[in-house]
Structure 1
Amino acid sequence: MIPTNTPWSGLEAGKVDTRRVSASARWNWFWAVMPRADVALVLQLSDLPNPAPELPKLRNLEIRFQTLPGGPILYVRLKDSAQLELFETLCRDVMAAGELAETEAEALERAIGRTFRWHYLLRGGKSEALSEESQKGLIGEIEVLKLLMSVLGPKPALTAWTGPSGAPKDFELKGDCIEVKARRGASQPFIKITNEFQLAEVPGRRLWLGVLAVDKVQPPHGRTLTEQIKEVTDMLEQSEPSAILEWDLHLADAGFDILHDYSAWRWIVSPPDFHIVTDDFPRIAAPIPLGLSSVSYSLALSACAPFRADWCALQTNLIEAEKL
């Protein structure tokens, strides 16, 4: 039974029944009830996208393209009626994002990207916010990601960001790999290398170590992790909304949930210092003696100083490698 105080009240179950959301909306949004009495949001399209974009796969939502007698649609269907109130919030947020688009194709991209942003809401995210150390690490990687976006563009930079997926290096590009370490600015001048693979050579690629200070501060100084992430999201929405989907997936892999409250932590970030990792760079790297594994150690920044390289040098290498 659909509650009367929802947008779906009055729609008939047992068939696909729809009601236009608003006559003044830029795009063709409809509230819908599907044959099994599941509520849905529908975006009517002029044409199906070709190729079809990847769609979110969520436990309590079904998101699909379908061709009906009246034309193709994208629909988002709720499979768990207990989540109805949250689902209505999701639908209105998805429509708000789509309404910012100038073309139907962009509206579709924005709708899909915003649905990905809600992936934790209806499938069940992590019960706890990221720890302080995890927040620092994620902020450090995002700072380097922003630099790469400025050089390569959002999509290539996001494709190169492999840290959240558990890869040995935080960024893997055509000719270069980058390992990022975030530290407290006032801490001892060491960084923690957590395994023998982080600074191991990658055949055919240069390896760089990026080190930056991420310090916790008191309000009103600094920004929260959520604010740091919103900055990148807003930039993508304005410049390349089709990249939001990959951005959201990376954040999910990193354990970030938009529903968690990060207001208790505010951070300031220093520009990263980069080092080129060559044969004589101080490190313990694979292969290591048989029987040893998960080798962690502290690396003195003073020992890294002879290998310092400025961002311009790294940027030049990145651009040249991407051209090959």
Structure 2
Amino acid sequence: MTPERMMEAWESLGQETAHPAGIQRVRLDTEAAADLFACVFWPAGRPGLLIEGDGAYRPAGDRIPTCRGVRTVHEVVAGPPERTVLRIILEDDRLLDIFAVLSADLIATAASESTVAAALRRRIDRICLWQGLFERVPVEGLSEERQRGMIGELLILEALRAMPACRTRSTSTPGHCLRVWRYRPCSAWARSLRFPVTAIWFARSGSRRSRMSHARATRSPRVI
């Protein structure tokens, strides 16, 4: 499941005539223990998710996590048989892109479980993990400067993983080269990271725009 597929499912459901029951849905996984659906909830036409299955399952302490701009509804429907229903509904359209990523992650997590109880529990746990991100990310998205900074960090990490030092016998895992980096404060507006053969110094100019000033090392430096 990908965010793109989630967006396509919601768009397709939204083009259908509103259902009298107040929900349009399409099954996302036919083999999962729990029933997993992408949904559009009427009358507002809100995109969301639905997970349900036989049995009465409640989170510890009846605690239902909440995310900014997202409503989570837990319900046990009387039977027989009893069924547990968990609805996750987007209420702030400005968060649609990140909600699609959240939804794809929740579906993948729930689909990997072998029982309904485990699928519901894992899904609630994952929402708890996403809470902080929804609180920190501005509804208007990341600024251009923050996007450049994030891309720069990813490019540096990618370059570090490709270094020969990361593939020697002395490094048991690809991430070992990242753990041996050392933090050295330079000033109130600077920081530097040093690798055995590479050092990168970051500085913030007076205009508060982050930039990479230069790279240097003690021997045969590799400049990133």
Give the residue type in structure 1 aligned to 2:23: V
- Asked if the contact 1:60/1:123 (under 8 Å) is kept, the reply is no
8, 11, 16: which one pairs with 2:10? 8
Task: Please report how far the alpha carbon of residue 60 of structure 1 lies from its aligned counterpart in structure 2 after TM superposition.
Answer: 0.7
CA distances 1:43-96 after superposition (whole Å, capped 9, x unpaired): 012123246631112221111113569943101111111222211111111121
In the alignment, the residues of structure 1 paired with residue 118 and residue 75 of structure 2 have an alpha-carbon distance, to the nearest angstrom, of 19
Task: Please report how far the alpha carbon of residue 99 of structure 1 lies from its aligned counterpart in structure 2 after TM superposition.
Answer: 2.2
State the partner residue of 1:43. Answer: 51
Would the alpha carbon gap of residues 59 and 104 (structure 1) be closer, same or farther in structure 2, given more than 3 Å must change? same
In the alignment, the residues of structure 2 paired with residue 95 and residue 223 of structure 1 have an alpha-carbon distance, to the nearest angstrom, of 36
State the partner residue of 1:66. Answer: 75
In the alignment, the residues of structure 2 paired with residue 223 and residue 112 of structure 1 have an alpha-carbon distance, to the nearest angstrom, of 35
Give the residue type in structure 1 aligned to 2:37: F
Other structure's SS at 1:24 match? coil
Q: CA RMSD in A?
A: 3.4
In the alignment, the residues of structure 2 paired with residue 47 and residue 265 of structure 1 have an alpha-carbon distance, to the nearest angstrom, of 53
Task: Please report how far the alpha carbon of residue 9 of structure 1 lies from its aligned counterpart in structure 2 after TM superposition.
Answer: 2.1
* Gapped regions of structure 2 (runs ≥ 5): 1-5, 147-175, 182-191, 195-224
State the partner residue of 2:169. Answer: none
Tell me, yes or no, if structure 1 residue 56 matches structure 2 residue 65: yes
State the partner residue of 1:222. Answer: 179
Other structure's SS at 1:118 match? helix
State the partner residue of 1:21. Answer: 28
Give the residue type in structure 2 aligned to 1:72: T
- Asked if the contact 2:102/2:130 (under 8 Å) is kept, the reply is yes
State the partner residue of 1:124. Answer: 136
Give the residue type in structure 1 aligned to 2:177: P
Give the residue type in structure 1 aligned to 2:72: I
Tell me, yes or no, if structure 1 residue 34 matches structure 2 residue 47: no
Would the alpha carbon gap of residues 221 and 8 (structure 1) be closer, same or farther in structure 2, given more than 3 Å must change? closer
The correspondence of residues 1-324 of structure 1 with structure 2, limited to 5 A, is 6-11=8-13, 12=16, 13=18, 15-35=22-42, 36-50=44-58, 53-66=62-75, 71-125=83-137, 220-222=177-179
If asked which structure has higher relative contact order (CA below 8 Å, sep 6+), I would say 1
- Asked if the contact 2:32/2:114 (under 8 Å) is kept, the reply is no
- Asked if the contact 2:75/2:86 (under 8 Å) is kept, the reply is yes
Where in structure 1 do 4 or more consecutive aligned residues deviate above 6 Å?
Answer: none
Other structure's SS at 2:128 match? helix
What TM-score comes out, normalization by structure 1 length? 0.36
In the alignment, the residues of structure 2 paired with residue 223 and residue 55 of structure 1 have an alpha-carbon distance, to the nearest angstrom, of 40
Task: Please report how far the alpha carbon of residue 5 of structure 1 lies from its aligned counterpart in structure 2 after TM superposition.
Answer: 5.2
Other structure's SS at 1:73 match? strand
CA distances 1:283-322 after superposition (whole Å, capped 9, x unpaired): xxxxxxxxxxxxxxxxxxxxxxxxxxxxxxxxxxxxxxxx
Give the residue type in structure 1 aligned to 2:50: V
* Gapped regions of structure 1 (runs ≥ 5): 129-218, 225-263, 267-324
Other structure's SS at 1:59 match? coil
In the alignment, the residues of structure 1 paired with residue 7 and residue 121 of structure 2 have an alpha-carbon distance, to the nearest angstrom, of 30
In the alignment, the residues of structure 2 paired with residue 43 and residue 60 of structure 1 have an alpha-carbon distance, to the nearest angstrom, of 19
Task: Please report how far the alpha carbon of residue 29 of structure 1 lies from its aligned counterpart in structure 2 after TM superposition.
Answer: 0.3
Give the residue type in structure 2 aligned to 1:10: S
Task: State the identity %.
Answer: 22
Would the alpha carbon gap of residues 24 and 103 (structure 1) be closer, same or farther in structure 2, given more than 3 Å must change? closer
Other structure's SS at 1:97 match? helix
- Asked if the contact 1:61/1:122 (under 8 Å) is kept, the reply is no
In the alignment, the residues of structure 1 paired with residue 193 and residue 45 of structure 2 have an alpha-carbon distance, to the nearest angstrom, of 43
